[in-house]
Chain A
């Protein structure tokens, strides 16, 4: 059995994640206004970061794929989109969990929330398209176009959702992301969790790419096998 090169990184990630959780639950002081619910920030903000990072990687790899037609760029883009959608979902859910006790509502049509939701929809569409594309190469090329369009529309969606309710006071809500105002222990935990989540992203990305490569290998082996079975003439009996 070959040794898995990802194994040490995974062990490191597991240790770092547990340490991070310990910091969040036992070490960092409780925020005086929001109480214990503020602690979700240490998962929420890093998830949002990973989501944006992942979609940025989708953009870069989609461009690289269209330029080079090398399948590995497509695998990275595809795997990154999966991780990105997962973490956008985590961002939305943890945000709603925080919003309920603090804002009194699970959801507010705040521009940043709306933008995150639109991103979620765009990349869900990306994944849905990949699942329904009938031709692998063609599907990959078109998915790359979606990946590029999806990221390019972000600033435009940002302005439009910001302006749409421009007169409403939603933006004066105190935001947990205003980390400049956070005490130093909180900042430290936040920075730690950003690092842990980035590592988590990289591991999930590596596993995702490996999975796609294996799927591709299986398809190629099958095609190879079928070709040989059809072409080889039967020995005359």
Chain B
């Protein structure tokens, strides 16, 4: 456990000095959020749910998807940077030489990556709500557990495949290519929970997504911890 925390602390300290992961994620997420909310008709995300026209979704139904696709793409950039930092700074080589359990290494990097992702969300989500004219009480504090399970799931996949793609030729292309279909349940789940919270002010029937996301987290955390050694081994 001390190793895990030491590795997480190393990544967080490195970031606090270099500042090349979280700010980039944040700016990227904001660009996407800005573009997507700007493209919608004014007030569309705030308007009361209209009487459903057959086949048409109320605009607020897509709020969650706007937010979480933006966060997903920002997350992929962050995971890529975080893994590349280890390769470029040779810290990765040092960690490989150190007598450290690969599962602990994975857990440490996972904590750091989840931290970057949560920090990004804590700034990006309120700004998104500001752009989209959503009242603060409409999403907070209900969205906090969504952020937590979703970040953990994205980071579980991203930490594993961020390290895995470092030695591929087209690494910046391979990471999103692999991460997107695998994290689809997380993106869909977080989006559905966010939209439901916004429309109904509670999770209601959609609470089942929490179970799905938790199962996802457990499955990929286990897989990552077990297979990380094969990914980093020279």
Contact residues in A for B181 (Cβ distance below 8 Å)? 118, 121-122, 125, 153, 157
Q: Is the CB of A133 within 8 A of B167?
A: yes
Task: Please count how many residues in chain B sit with their CB below 8 Å of the partner chain's CB atoms.
Answer: 33
Q: Mark B36-62, 1 if CB is under 8 A from A, else 0.
A: 000000000000000000000000000
Chain A interface residue number, banded: 20 to 34
Q: Is the CB of B174 within 8 A of A132?
A: yes
CB-nearest residue of chain B to A168? B55
Could you tell me the dominant secondary structure of chain A's interface residues? helix
Q: Is the CB of B182 within 8 A of A148?
A: no
CB-nearest residue of chain A to B187? A160
Contact residues in A for B212 (Cβ distance below 8 Å)? 156, 159-160, 163
Q: Find residues 77-123 in chain B having any chain A CB closer than 8 Å to their own CB.
A: none
Give the contacting residue for B230; candidates A118, A121, A142, A159; CB below 8 A.
A142
Contact residues in A for B189 (Cβ distance below 8 Å)? 160
B50 CB → nearest A CB, Å: 17
The answer, yes or no, to whether B223 is at the interface (CB within 8 Å) is yes
Q: Is the CB of B165 within 8 A of A157?
A: no
Contact residues in A for B231 (Cβ distance below 8 Å)? 141-142, 145
Q: Mark A56-92, 1 if CB is under 8 A from B, else 0.
A: 0000000000100000000000000000000000000
The answer, yes or no, to whether B169 is at the interface (CB within 8 Å) is yes
Q: Is the CB of A66 within 8 A of B230?
A: yes
B173 CB → nearest A CB, Å: 8
Give the contacting residue for A129; candidates B168, B188, B220, B233; CB below 8 A.
B168
The answer, yes or no, to whether A228 is at the interface (CB within 8 Å) is no
Task: List the interface of chain B (C-beta within 8 A of A).
Answer: 157, 160-161, 164-165, 167-170, 174, 177-178, 180-182, 184-185, 188-189, 192, 208-209, 212, 215-216, 219-220, 223, 227, 230-231, 233-234
Considering the complex of A and B, which 8 residue pairs feature the smallest CB-CB distances, nearest first?
Answer: A160-B185, A121-B181, A132-B169, A141-B230, A156-B185, A122-B181, A132-B168, A142-B164
